[in-house]
Amino acid sequence: MAIRCRKCGREAAIMMRQHRLALCDEHYLEWFVEQTERTIRMFRMFDRSERVLVAVSGGKDSLSLWDVLLRLGYQADGLYIGLGIDGGIRYSDQSYEKCMRFVEERWPEARLIVVDIQEVYGETIPEVAARTTRGRDKPCAVCGLVKRYVMNRVAYEGGYAALATGHNLDDEVAVLFGNVMNWQAGYMARQGPVLPASRPGFARKVKPFCRFYERETAAYALLRGIDYIYDECPYAEGSTSIAYKEWLAKLEEERPGTKLRFYLGFLKAKEEGLIAFRTDEAELHACEKCGQPTSAPGICAFCRLWERRRPARVIPNPVRISGS
Ligand code: Q46
Ligand code: ZN
Ligand code: ZN
């Protein structure tokens, strides 16, 4: 027997076992948008008077997030960072094309900021990773550092109230699980739907999709007809977080709702002070080269990456804006 939508009785497009809720496509899209708004309010992420910068990668989560925020009437601009990753699948080129198509076809009035790492700093992520100890085995550590730096800098200098990323519940739970497994209390203290801009130079970071399962964001993208990149970054293969996700999927399969309970339980315990973490707030100063806050003596870790390399072309404002 076909499962019916709880709201209208039509055939359901999705069944969410953890919520014991089945919805048709129309009501699912409505529910998804309402739930995003609820999360934004619940965690006081931002309001309609503020400007938000959404980091977009061309994937289903980030493009769906940007789409929902624009539909909800938030002042949301996009930020795309060109990493120069090919991996035999034109990964970065494809990602860029998906972001551009999203803007051109759906939201032509939206603003997409593009920062191409090679264009601005002279090398692609795999190139800079290959010549640094940090990235010798895999470029992910270098890539993460570069992305965090650029996202924060563009958000902060652009005067955005918050930087929003498309992290979903599965991402958050995998990170939390890894942090618990390794007792990384410092990381746990900082993990949550909102990371406040506690000190000058830092933008507030928010995750409006943190209560959605990955299959829910995928369903939204699919039902909305958003054209996104299916391929994962070629370097993601074999990562610990993917292994954690596979284990957690088994738990979820047997006990629907496990991931949501684990994550929300953690947030609640933290808020109620049941678990307390000591946050080692390192002394910060402005990087001698770029002026961004850093705890490293002299210049920051990001600037250190490019020390032995002269930028191919120095662009004073490392930002390109679509349509301008
Ligand atoms: S860090 Fe690593 Fe990702 Fe960068 S190199 Fe690819 S997998 S994109 S989230
Ligand atoms: Zn319905
Ligand atoms: Zn610097």
What is the pLDDT confidence band of residue 166, given thresholds at 50, 70 and 90?
very high
> What pairs with residue 4 in β-bridges?
11
Q: Is 58 a pocket residue for ligand 1 (Cβ < 6 Å)?
A: no
To test ligand 1's pocket by mutation, which of 140, 165, 229, 240 has the most ligand atoms within 8 angstroms of CB?
Answer: 140
Q: Strand 112-116's sheet: what is its strand order? A: 194-195, 204-206, 162-164, 51-55, 75-82, 112-116, 320-321
CB 112 within 8 A of CB 56: yes
Q: Would you say the CB of residue 5 lies under 6 angstroms from ligand 1?
A: no
pLDDT at 273: 86
Q: Can you tell me the distance from the alpha carbon of 122 to that of 140, in angstroms, rounded to the nearest whole number?
A: 18
Report pLDDT for 120.
Answer: 94
Q: Are 293 and 303 in contact (CB under 8 A)?
A: no
Could you report the per-residue pLDDT of 147-162, keeping only the tens digit for each? 999 999 999 999 999 9
CA geometry: angle 14, 261, 276, nearest 5 deg? 150
Residue 82 beta carbon below 6 angstroms from any ligand 1 atom? no
Ligand 3 is an ion; its neighbours by CB within 5 Å are 287, 289-290, 300, 303
Residues 192-222 pLDDT 10s: 999 999 888 999 999 999 999 999 999 999 9
Question: 24 pLDDT exceeds 50?
Answer: yes
Nearest atom of ligand 1 to the alpha carbon of 125:
5
Q: pLDDT tens-digit profile of 106-157? A: 999 999 999 999 999 999 999 999 998 877 788 999 999 999 999 999 999 9
Q: What is the mean pLDDT of residues 79-98?
A: 97
| Residue 226 Cα to ligand 2 middle (Å) | 21
pLDDT of 309 > 90? The answer is no
**What are the chain's domains?**
46-322 (3.40.50.620)
DSSP-assigned letters across all residues of 141-208: HHHHHHHHHHHHHHHHHTT-SEEE----HHHHHHHHHHHHHTT-HHHHHH-SSEE---STT--EEE-T
Residue 280: per-residue pLDDT: 64
**318 CB less than 6 Å from ligand 1?**
no
Question: Comparing C-alpha atoms, which of 54, 52, 14 is closest to residue 31?
Answer: 14
Position 286 scores a pLDDT of 93
pLDDT digits (tens, 9 = 90+) for 29-76: 999 999 999 999 999 999 999 999 999 999 999 999 999 999 999 999
**Per-residue pLDDT reduced to its tens digit, 219-242:** 999 999 999 999 999 999 888 989
From CA 123, how far away is CA 200, in angstroms rounded?
29
User: Does residue 311 carry a pLDDT above 70?
Assistant: no
Which residues, in sequence order, are bridge partners of residue 53? 77, 163
At residue 277, the 3 state secondary structure works out as: coil
Q: Is 131 strand, coil or helix?
A: coil
**Does ligand 1 lie within 6 Å of residue 251's CB atom?**
no
